[in-house]
Structure 1
Amino acid sequence: MKKRTYPYYKNAFEGQAMPFAYVDLDFFDQNIKDILERANRKNIRIASKSIRCVQLMRRILDYSDQYQGIMCFTATEAVWLSRQGFDDLLVAYPTFQAKHIEGVAQEVQKGKKIYLMTDKLEHLQQINKIGERLKVKIPICMDLDVSSDFPGLHFGVYRSSLCTLESVKIYLEQLKKFPFVNLKGIMGYEAQIAGVGNQVPHQGVKNRLIRILQRRSIKEIRERRGKAIELVKEAVGALDFVNGGGTGSVEVTSEEEGITEVAVGSGFYTPTLFDNYEHFQHLPASGYAIEIVRQPQQQIYTCLGGGYVASGPLGIDKLPKPYLPDGCELYPNEMAGEVQTPIYYKGKESLQIGDPIFFRHSKAGELCERFNELLLLKGGKVVEKTETYRGAGQCFL
């Protein structure tokens, strides 16, 4: 992996108040370009939860017409982004609260494209009830489960209830009862391919097993998804999109004939969980810095704050990782703390009180929930500061 040096970032951010989060635009722009090349000429929908910054999402969309649309994580976020001028907004998770559906319906009445996710009868009933009251036909997307069940193992995530072709048929029959919903898209997120690293250091046997399971799962998904797409098109006609994939599965998902677009989010920032893939390697474009405030012992430096731990199953891989200077390690008895983080360092840099330690987060957009702004770096200089969702006063989940 291409990597900056400690002096490069230390000099670039000199004088900035810590803690701060940053995006290295040279790396970010290269990731935009590389992801485009991986997508096999299919459209790419930006997963907003992994960006959480309006300006950077606009930067991606402006790069190429192949970047089209945003995959939001809540309906309220989609409405807010619509009012910021964005369009073609897919809400990736079901919305049930009437007030939130009403907000989407009102944007649809203005001519905006916002799609609500569904996989249950209850979703259809609720959306139809509000559409009928407001006299607007609300676009929806069907969430197809694309996990794989092997003997003794569920390989994937528990997401949608539409996990068989029979369940898809039942859903399509139910759909006929609801004239104020308009099925215009299909989504199937293969988390077991897109979000599971298959080249994790020191896990050779597990890596080989994961690759075998992923190859089997890909074959099974293609057949099942292809048949589901045929069923849907027979029932409702042409669709606006068929969405699949994620950062880790761009190549294999985009090869499917029925897929019209892939979703990508984490690859633009490339947090540590996306370092460990066999078939691609993007650049570490985002991170944060915390300040050394004391040195209790030789080679141990205590920093202020830093405990920005990612969601998901508990594990070391959800902790932020010291990035620069090379050779920094978390102290095992304390790790990344709420108000202080001790660092063990036995390297070449002469660290002083007040110096920064640079970290990378485990996940992508979650870091933005801890900072109001991102420092944008280009050519070794801070060229701009831009608001995160939090800095704009928004907290959607």
Structure 2
Amino acid sequence: MIRRRARVRPDAVAAVTRWDRATADLDPPVAVVDLAAFDANLDDLLARADGRPIRLATKSLRCRALIERALARREVTGLMAYTLPEALWLVGEGVSDDVLVAYPAVDRAALRALAADGRARAAVTIMIDSVAHLDLLDAVLGPDHPELRVCLELDAAWRPLPGVHVGARRSPVHTAREAGRLARAIVARPGCQLVGVMAYEGQIAGVPDATGARARDAVVRWMQGRSARELEARRGAAVRAVRAEADLAFVNGGGSGSVESTRADPSVTEIAAGSALVGATLFDGYTRLHPRPALAYALPVVRRPDARTATLAGGGWVASGPAAASRLPSPVRDDLALTGTEGAGEVQTPVRGSCPPALGERVWMRHAKAGELAEHVTAYHLVDGDRVVATVPTYRGEGKAYG
């Protein structure tokens, strides 16, 4: 059985010749970042934001050199890290002096390091979604701990009916009344300065609406339209309730897939995004954006079990999320497909087609989710045209593992 082929991107197929030429002297596995595609994707993201500042989601890149390349644009005004240790590292390395940690921190050592470092306290904002988080801070740091910048997270999921929850399960704070209540508790708690509100509309930003399944796509677009309208009203009310308690430095919303609807919300002051810069395969299924494939990797052919099969070394780099074919990596060639019995394997990945590559040749692959490739390789080779102009470490290459 052959697994359904993923949608083939002609621009990726056309780039393979350049990638092969640029990396001809390197043994696979090898990962490349096509700088022209990366920069074009960044230009497109900023155009879609239409003047609204971008807070770069570091989990989508997990590579300092790429983060710094994006930060060089004046419209990219800060970072959204995914753990507090990562945020402390980025600040310590001088990458940014404005880092929002997108998820609550319960790492006791990291919280103590934050409290002990005045520079970090001025640069890092941690996430709060309950009084229990405030209590945890006091338990770890003591009730008289130095003042920390905190952000209140509002649940952005759509709840059209009782018991129906469409979106990520994140904050328990859903209504404006709940947001105002928590804001009052934060303001009243010594050692906490409420500076921001965040709401991530994952059901809009993270769900493709052009997969080719017409009935499903129509339902998704209907859901996303209704959800965006509901969230704009509810988020606006929640932000007003929080602003009644504290002066806010920012209201963060969105993701790469929801820039347009997030930008239209007058309560939002900045948009979180990052995945669109890479153009992984999950973004092939959107009507709102069409990022270029900027990141790919090559695996070597190590076996030829039969005339229609080439077996690649390793390659089981399956994306997180619900188990589905959409989470598997995809060969760039339109005549190759993964097999349904093995998929992408830990130690080998068979691909089948009418004319598979020979032993020792390489097959270029695209992964499903933006930053997760960086967990499998220690370096990215930055390609300009048909040359490698720099080789830079990923987080893993710098000995960092944050997720």
Query: Which TM-score band (shorter chain)?
Result: over 0.9
Q: Matched residue of 2:152: which SS? A: strand
1:375 shift after superposition: 1.0
Q: Matched residue of 2:305: which SS? A: strand
1:192 maps to 2:203: yes
d(CA) in 1 for partners of 2:376, 2:12 = 24
Which residue of the partner structure matches residue 357 of structure 1? 363
d(CA) in 1 for partners of 2:83, 2:120 = 19
Question: Which stretch shifts more, 325-334 or 212-221?
Answer: 325-334
Runs of 4+ in 1 over 4 A off after TM superposition: 128-135
1:302 maps to 2:337: no
Which residue of the partner structure matches residue 339 of structure 2? 331
1:16 maps to 2:31: no
d(CA) in 2 for partners of 1:107, 1:380 = 45
Which residue of the partner structure matches residue 373 of structure 1? 379
1:74 maps to which of 77, 80, 83: 83
- The amino acid of 2:348's aligned partner reads Q
Tell me, yes or no, if the aligned pair for 1:329 and 1:344 is still in contact at 8 Å.
yes
d(CA) in 1 for partners of 2:372, 2:132 = 30
The 1:110/1:322 distance shift into structure 2, 3 A limit, reads closer
Q: Matched residue of 1:52: which SS? A: coil
| CA RMSD across the alignment | 1.6
Tell me, yes or no, if the aligned pair for 1:116 and 1:141 is still in contact at 8 Å.
yes
Which residue of the partner structure matches residue 94 of structure 1? 104
- The amino acid of 2:85's aligned partner reads T
1:129 shift after superposition: 5.4
1:133 shift after superposition: 6.1
Alignment of 1:26-105 (within 5 A): 26-62=36-72, 64-85=73-94, 86-105=96-115
- The amino acid of 1:171's aligned partner reads L
Q: Matched residue of 2:396: which SS? A: coil
1:178-211 Cα distance to aligned partner (Å, 9 max, x none): 121000001000000000000002x100100011
1:214-264 Cα distance to aligned partner (Å, 9 max, x none): 11100000000001111111111x211110000000111011111111011
Q: Matched residue of 2:12: which SS? A: coil
Alignment of 1:94-243 (within 5 A): 94-109=104-119, 112-128=122-138, 135-151=145-161, 153-201=164-212, 203-236=213-246, 238-243=247-252
1:52-77 Cα distance to aligned partner (Å, 9 max, x none): 00010000011x21101110000000
Which residue of the partner structure matches residue 276 of structure 1? 285
Q: Matched residue of 1:196: which SS? A: coil
d(CA) in 2 for partners of 1:307, 1:211 = 32
Tell me, yes or no, if the aligned pair for 1:25 and 1:376 is still in contact at 8 Å.
yes
Tell me, yes or no, if the aligned pair for 1:108 and 1:114 is still in contact at 8 Å.
no
Question: Which stretch shifts more, 85-94 or 159-168?
Answer: 159-168
The 1:198/1:108 distance shift into structure 2, 3 A limit, reads farther
The 1:111/1:144 distance shift into structure 2, 3 A limit, reads closer
Unaligned runs of 5+ in 1: none
1:174 shift after superposition: 1.9
Unaligned runs of 5+ in 2: 1-8
Question: Which stretch shifts more, 4-13 or 212-221?
Answer: 4-13
1:386 maps to 2:397: no
- The amino acid of 2:397's aligned partner reads G
Q: Matched residue of 1:149: which SS? A: coil
- The amino acid of 1:311's aligned partner reads S
1:6-28 Cα distance to aligned partner (Å, 9 max, x none): 43322222121111111111100
Paired-residue identity, %? 36
- The amino acid of 2:90's aligned partner reads L
Tell me, yes or no, if the aligned pair for 1:98 and 1:126 is still in contact at 8 Å.
no
Which residue of the partner structure matches residue 256 of structure 1? 265
1:333 shift after superposition: 1.5
Tell me, yes or no, if the aligned pair for 1:246 and 1:264 is still in contact at 8 Å.
yes
- The amino acid of 1:220's aligned partner reads E
Tell me, yes or no, if the aligned pair for 1:131 and 1:181 is still in contact at 8 Å.
no
Tell me, yes or no, if the aligned pair for 1:157 and 1:191 is still in contact at 8 Å.
yes
